[in-house]
């Protein structure tokens, strides 16, 4: 019941409106419910799926216990991420947990460049590991492996050649 200046109302109407507002606020989901991690379940092949994002890159990661086979977009991970720095970035969650070579990973990456895709795969692997073994969350969280890096390219502004760059100024 909306109360406006034009309508005459009594104290009962005011109390009724406040009760309706308080009931509506109780029915709305709280922030704590929205922040809970999603319950992830294994598929028929025993794999667990997770998504990672970084810049414009999106990585879909399937993780299952195995012998360390790692493929990205149908290629071997060492061939796909040719730079050693990118392979180190992708393997960080396993090294933090001392679980190198214990899981088979199959990932598909789209968008962005290699650096963004490596960050997206790292986040996807971390989320999938927590889905397989929830107790690992305590070890991965302090290292920042479960936090999505929200930094992205700043948009170009009108009247400028780039986001912040200005055209050359000539005094004379």
Residue 135 lies in a domain: yes
Residue 53 falls within a domain, yes or no?
yes
Average pLDDT, the chain: 86
Q: In this structure, is residue 106 part of a structural domain?
A: yes
Residue 163 forms part of a structural domain = no
Cα of 116 vs its chain's centroid, Å: 13
Domain that holds residue 127: 48-140
What pLDDT shows up at residue 38?
60
Burial class (CB in 10 A: 0-12, 13-18, 19+), 107: buried
Give the residue carrying structure tokens 């009108």. 158
Determine the Cα–Cα distance for residues 164 and 157; give it in Å rounded to an integer: 8
Please give the distance of CA 159 from its chain centroid, rounded to a whole number.
Answer: 33
Question: Is 165 among the domain residues?
Answer: no
Does the pLDDT at position 94 exceed 60?
Answer: yes
Taking only the tens place, the pLDDT of each residue in 43-66 is 778 889 999 999 999 999 999 999
Would you place residue 15 in the very low, low, confident or very high pLDDT band (cuts 50, 70, 90)?
confident
Tell me, yes or no, whether 42 lies in a domain.
no
Residue 40 lies in a domain: no
More confident call, 103 vs 19: 103
Residue 105 covered by a domain? yes
Question: What is the reported pTM?
Answer: 0.74
Confidence of residue 18 (pLDDT cuts 50, 70, 90): confident
Strands 48-54 and 57-65: antiparallel
Average pLDDT over residues 3-29: 64
Q: Domain of 110: which CATH number?
A: 3.30.230.10
Q: With b meaning 16 or more CB within 10 Å and e meaning fewer, what string describes 125-137? A: bbbbbbbbeeebb
| pLDDT tens-place string over residues 124-166 | 999 999 999 999 999 999 999 999 999 999 999 999 999 999 9
| Interatomic CA distance for residues 15 and 7, integer angstroms | 15
Give me the number of domains the chain comprises. 1
Q: Is pLDDT at 113 greater than 70 in this prediction?
A: yes
């Amino acid at each position: 019941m909306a109360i406006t200046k034009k309508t005459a109302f009594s104290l009962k109407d005011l109390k009724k409106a406040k009760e309706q507002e308080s009931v509506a606020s109780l029915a709305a989901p709280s922030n704590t419910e929205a922040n809970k991690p999603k319950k992830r379940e294994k598929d028929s092949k025993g794999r667990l799926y997770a998504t990672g994002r970084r810049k414009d890159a999106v990585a879909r990661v399937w993780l299952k216990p195995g012998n360390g086979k790692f493929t990205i977009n149908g290629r071997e991970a060492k061939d796909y991420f040719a730079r050693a720095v990118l392979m180190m970035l992708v393997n960080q969650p396993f090294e933090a947990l001392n679980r190198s070579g214990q899981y088979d990973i199959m990932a598909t990456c789209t968008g962005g460049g290699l650096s963004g895709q490596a960050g997206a795969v790292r986040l996807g692997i971390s989320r999938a590991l927590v889905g397989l073994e929830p107790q690992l969350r305590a070890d991965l969280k302090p290292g920042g492996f479960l936090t999505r890096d929200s930094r992205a390219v700043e948009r170009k502004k009108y009247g400028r050649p780039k986001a912040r760059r200005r055209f050359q100024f000539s005094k004379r």
